[in-house]
Structure 1
Amino acid sequence: MRIKRDNFRGLRAIGAAISVLTLAACATSALNASAEPDGQSTLPALINDGFEGESALKFDWPMLEIGTGQYEDGPTGLTVLKFGKKVNAAVDARGGGPGTVNAEYLKLGYTQPELDAIVLSGGSWYGLEAATAVNTALLDDGYRGGHWNNVGLVVGSIIYDFGGRRLNEIYPDKRLAQLALRAAKPGVFPNGAFGAGRSAMNGGIFGCNARSGQGSAFRQVGDVKIAVFTVVNALGAVTDRDGNVVACHKGTNWPETLKASDLMGAAPASLQPDWNGDKDTQEFERKNTTISVVVTNRTMSPAELQRLAVQVHTSMARGIQPFASEFDGDVLYAVSTNEVEAGPGVNLPSMEIGVAASELMWDAILAAVPPQQVTQPKADPYLVIPSSTLREYVGTYKFSDFASLTVRLEDGNLVAEASGERDVFQITKAGPRRLLAAMQDVFTVDRGRYPFSVKFTGDTVIVNPGRWQQIGHRVRHE
């Protein structure tokens, strides 16, 4: 069959038009895909929370700026330490699982100042995005450029704050990091469950599973300034100067005054969940990290900075017991801002700075533990709630793609069971557990080692209402 030339030209024109339309459609599709928000883009960002609180450290050092960002929906967050000019730094890593960005570069011992900022973040490996985001913000804001002697350098480390700590996998991302950087200001650091320490914990090796956070301390000797910062997400237990464990959900027959030496001396028995007859366990992934920074304004050589990092990091084994296990990823950065020259008139040797910083770091470790922990309300055996009211609470509540809670009414009692891939803290997938009324809309379970409560409000349920609450939304009525 032969096609006339005019008809062929017509077909070719039609084909070309179809190709243009196809390309246009693909371009529109790509544009729409890129315009679609990611899963975290609409999360409310809380910036510099706790800066005005009583627990915040206030100090005078214009060279050092701090910014924090938090996603309360996690909860999780990050902390940015930005320096007013490029500074020198060294790093010391301990434990079996450090997560860092650009830390290896600091080990090369170059004498010229190159570091701009340090980012400490939650979110495990995903939180490492925060460090590179701060670096690109320095370029985007015109603070740094592309010339070889003006390229931004930001290092960062992360803690593991997923698993048994919360029922979602929200992480500190680029948006949160850049907001925190641009809001950074000098002279204040919030201690406790803020910033990178928002969902930190400590003492998991003994089953304490106590809430933790970030801490800081500051001292000035003459013209020499020393500041230390730490995010305590340790497998070991925080220990005070009298040897007492600072925070712990204790086993059944544990002593009122709990010494770290008691737990350490009783190992390996004290590492087991049924030690002293306690059977109520709550599994936590053994992935922990304490990430720390020590900063001085005195000039230091690369060798002095490295020794400072090692000395202070080693000293932390007093305040965290045990320290630097195979399940910890401990990292410490030592920084000199080079504002005070060593020599005549500055009679504080680097070793003495290390001694002072080591003691300050113990203060910072203690300051990291927040005073408010999760509490459990008491069940009221005389409270009678009508069945019609209880039926309003029935349904399946979704916390994330892997965690849901199913609430049913059985024999006039409210029961709950985890219906997702994972347990919902004390409510497991093993079978339904009775909910005991504390108030009309607040319920708890039989008292165990770890506190637990749920609060029903409309189509949502709040697990452990308060500072570390988790919110589930009803997706199905039973």
Structure 2
Amino acid sequence: MQHQTLLAALATLSTSAFIGSPAAHAEQDLKPVVNAAGKTLEFDWPTIRVGTGEYDEGPTGVTVFHFQKRSLVAIDARGGGPGTVNSDYLRLGYEVPKLDAIVLSGGSWYGLESTTAVSTALKDDGLRDARWGNVALAVGSIIYDFGDRRLNEIYPDKKLAQAAFRAAKPGVFPLGAYGAGRMAKSGGYFNCNAHSGQGGAFKQIGELKIAAFTVVNAMGVITQRDGSIAACFRDPTWPKNISAFDLADGTPDSRKPGWTGNPLDEDKRANTTISLLVVNQKMSYAELNRLAVQVHTSMARGIQPFATEFDGDVLYAVSTGELEKKEGSAVTPVDIGVIASDVMWDAILSSVPEQPSAPKANPRLKLQASELDSYVGEYTFSEFAKIRFTTRDNKLFAQAAGARDTFAIKRDSAIELQPVNKNEFTVPSRYPLLVKFIAPGQVILNPGRWQQTGRRAND
């Protein structure tokens, strides 16, 4: 009797868990986009292959670095909230090169699936097997790209990571909002909320090669070498030529309402910069570990503030070992650290994509009721994000109808949309918002690299 009761209870529990869990019926079935690129870094290093994969529906993505020759790697974690795979192994100090791949991913901890997926791809493709000493080693880290920056919870999964791995090629690295940096942002500490992405830089001195790659999703602002801010949706009350130093010097007042805008919310406290430094000169584990620390420390110049409690900053330092040390000709590890720190700053700056400009409403444009009525209805962006469009007095209004606000369109009241043209509307705000109706029953928020698409019920 007790056994039957237990079985019944377990059955009830299992059924309840299945029915009550959104994940039980929200499996991803999306098409990977591989190696999309606009501006790119091109570099001469055949043993490093790079592949990117993205889900436009997120948008979110993954970046895979595949080393054709097993390499030595060290790790330095600085942020207060890192998310990594196999990081403990990297701290053991073994001098034997074991690294096959490094995977950088969006999707927060769900995106860590990308790293293990690359390991199994190495095995499935016959590049590694299960023999002792030949097991694939992929390591990786993630950024948080959910929250109020997008209206869904799509994440980089096994299919996307393996597609990126298999599409990897040498010498090309997409810059900006691509791969793992597809939905990155920076400057949330000062409410800048600028779009960010992935950056890279390469330098060769004689036979010495140094490459730096980074995905900047930082709480701090990206800072130019002259101290100016590289990207920020600025508060209109700020002085025209305000610098990163000015913001830091004004803390905490520079973050208060009336000085910089709204205080931080939870989404703006989920930030990370994940980075990779590669040198071809052969180095010991101790030298490589110190190089990781030196370069990671230097990144505080290009991102201010850096490595806060709410950042998950991690840097991997890799030696491919192709360039043997020769007495009297090798560059010293300290010199490499100085050079690499400057290369990494270049990589940080190259991560900044072109920022969208605020759309300008046309106050002279008067739309007919029949034109506006074609937009009326409730549009779904995800299971928790919806917008209801209504009309009144020949004006179009929007109100969030799901479980969450949708950017400047809130749940508590309808807001009037200002017409830009017949099918585009805006909400005046510090942060640009464009509402574009592209087809009957279909609307896009912020068309372009960061767009969110909604569809009307019954269309």
| CA distance in structure 2 between the aligned counterparts of 1:111 and 1:175, rounded to whole angstroms | 33
- Indicate the SS of the match to 1:363: helix
Describe the SS at the equivalent of 2:311: coil
Change (3 A) 1:163 1:194: same
Query: RMSD in angstroms over aligned alpha carbons?
Result: 1.7
Q: Equivalent of 2:75, from 91, 111, 114? A: 91
My pick for the range that moved more, 219-228 or 265-274, is 265-274
Distance 2:60 2:95 in 1: 36
The amino acid of 2:280's aligned partner reads N
C-alpha distance in structure 2 between counterparts of 1:99 and 1:283, whole Å: 18
* Equivalent in 66, 74, 85 of residue 82 of structure 1: 66
Q: Give, in whole Å, the separation in 1 of the partners of 2:301 and 2:319.
A: 25
Paired AA for residue 40 in structure 1: Q
Question: Residues 29-51 of structure 1: CA distance to partner in whole angstroms, max 9, x if unpaired?
Answer: xxxxxxx996322x22110011x
Separation (CA, whole Å) in 1 of partners of 2:430 and 2:42: 37
Instruction: Report SS of the residue matched to 2:269.
Output: coil
Higher mean Cα deviation, 127-136 or 430-439? Answer: 430-439
Quote the residue 1:386 is aligned against.
368
Asked whether 1:141 is paired with 2:125, we answer yes
Mapping of residues 319-398 of structure 1, within 5 Å: 319-344=302-327, 346-371=329-354, 373-398=355-380
The Cα of 1:436 is off from its aligned counterpart by: 1.1
Distance in 2, Cα, partners of 1:280 & 1:450: 15
Q: Does 1:270 align with 2:251?
A: no
Residues 397, 475 of structure 1: 8 Å contact kept? yes
Is 1:48 matched up with 2:35?
Answer: yes
Structure 2: which amino acid aligns with 1:47? V
Question: Which amino acid in 2 is paired with 1:172?
Answer: P
CA deviations over 1:183-215 (Å, ceiling 9, x no partner) = 101111111111100000000000000000000
Alignment of 1:62-461 (within 5 A): 62-275=46-259, 278=261, 284-344=267-327, 346-371=329-354, 373-445=355-427, 447-457=428-438, 458-461=440-443
In structure 2, the residue corresponding to 1:264 is in which secondary structure? Answer: helix
Q: Distance in 2 between matches of 1:412 and 1:281?
A: 37
| Structure 1 counterpart SS, 2:268 | coil
Q: Distance in 2 between matches of 1:318 and 1:285?
A: 21
Unaligned runs of 5+ in 2: 1-23
| Amino acid in the other structure paired with 1:310 | V
Note if contact 1:280-1:448 (Cα within 8 Å) is conserved in structure 2.
no
Q: 1:99-126: CA deviations, max 9, x gaps? A: 0000111000001111100000000011
User: Residues 77 and 172 of structure 1 are in contact (CA less than 8 Å); yes or no, is this contact kept in structure 2?
Assistant: yes
Q: What is the rounded CA distance, in whole Å, between the counterparts of 1:111 and 1:347 in structure 2?
A: 19
How many residues were matched structurally? 435
Say whether the 8 Å CA contact 1:273–1:281 is kept in structure 2.
Answer: no
Which residue number in structure 2 is paired with residue 18 of structure 1? none
* Residue matched to 1:27: none
Partner of 1:6: none
1-structure distance, mates of 2:253, 2:446 = 30
- Give the C-alpha shift of residue 282 in structure 1: 8.5
Q: Match for 1:352: what amino acid?
A: D
Shift of 1:346: 3.2
The Cα offsets for residues 260-301 of structure 1, whole Å up to 9 and x where unpaired, read as 01100000011224326x569987431000000000111111
In structure 2, distance between residues paired with 1:184 and 1:412: 53
- Code of the aligned partner of 1:407: F
Amino acid aligned to 1:390: L
User: Could you tell me how far apart the structure 2 residues matched to 1:440 and 1:405 are?
Assistant: 19
Whether contact under 8 Å (1:78, 1:122) holds in the other structure is: yes
Q: Which runs of 5+ in 1 are unaligned?
A: 1-35
Asked if structure 1 preserves the Cα contact closer than 8 Å seen for 2:360 and 2:420, the reply is yes
Deviations 1:216-253 (A, max 9, x none): 11111111111010000000000000000011111121
Letter in 2 for 1:395: G
**AA at the equivalent of 1:235:** M
Residues 25-44 of structure 1 mapped to structure 2, 5 A cutoff: 39-41=27-29, 43-44=30-31
Q: What's 1:20 paired with?
A: none
- Which amino acid in the other structure matches residue 27 of structure 2? G
| Cα shift readout 1:347-384 (whole Å, capped 9, x = no counterpart) | 2011111111000000000000012x223321111111
Displacement after TM superposition at 1:410 (Å): 2.1
Following superposition, the deviation at residue 345 of structure 1 comes to: 5.5
Q: State the match for 2:6 in structure 1.
A: none
- Percent identity reads 58
Question: Which whole-Å deviations, capped at 9, do the CAs of 1:410-464 have from their partners, x for residues lacking one?
Answer: 233211001111111000112100011111111112x221111201131111111
CA distance in 1, matches of 2:284, 2:116: 27
Measured in 1, the distance between the counterparts of 2:374 and 2:27 equals 30
Give the Cα separation in 1 of the matches to 2:115 and 2:81. Answer: 18
Q: Tell me the distance in 2 between the aligned counterparts of 1:375 and 1:423.
A: 22
Per-residue CA deviation, residues 105-156 of structure 1 (Å, 9 max, x unaligned), is: 1000001111100000000011000000000000000000011011100001
Partner secondary structure for residue 438 of structure 1: strand
Q: Deviations over 1:286-339 (max 9, x none)?
A: 100000000011111110010000000000000000000000000000001111
Supply the distance in 1 between the matched residues of 2:402 and 2:81 (Cα, whole angstroms): 29
Shift of 1:162: 0.4
After superposition, what is the alpha-carbon deviation per residue over 1:372-410, rounded to whole angstroms, capped at 9, x for unaligned?
Answer: x22332111111111011111000111001110011112
Q: Evaluate the alpha carbon distance shift between residue 450 and residue 280 of structure 1 in structure 2; reply closer, same or farther with a 3 A threshold.
A: farther
Larger gyration radius, structure 1 or structure 2: 1
- Residue 30 of structure 1 corresponds to none
The separation in 2 between residues aligned to 1:325 and 1:255, in whole angstroms, is 26
Q: What's the CA shift for 1:344? A: 2.3
TM-score (norm 2): 0.92
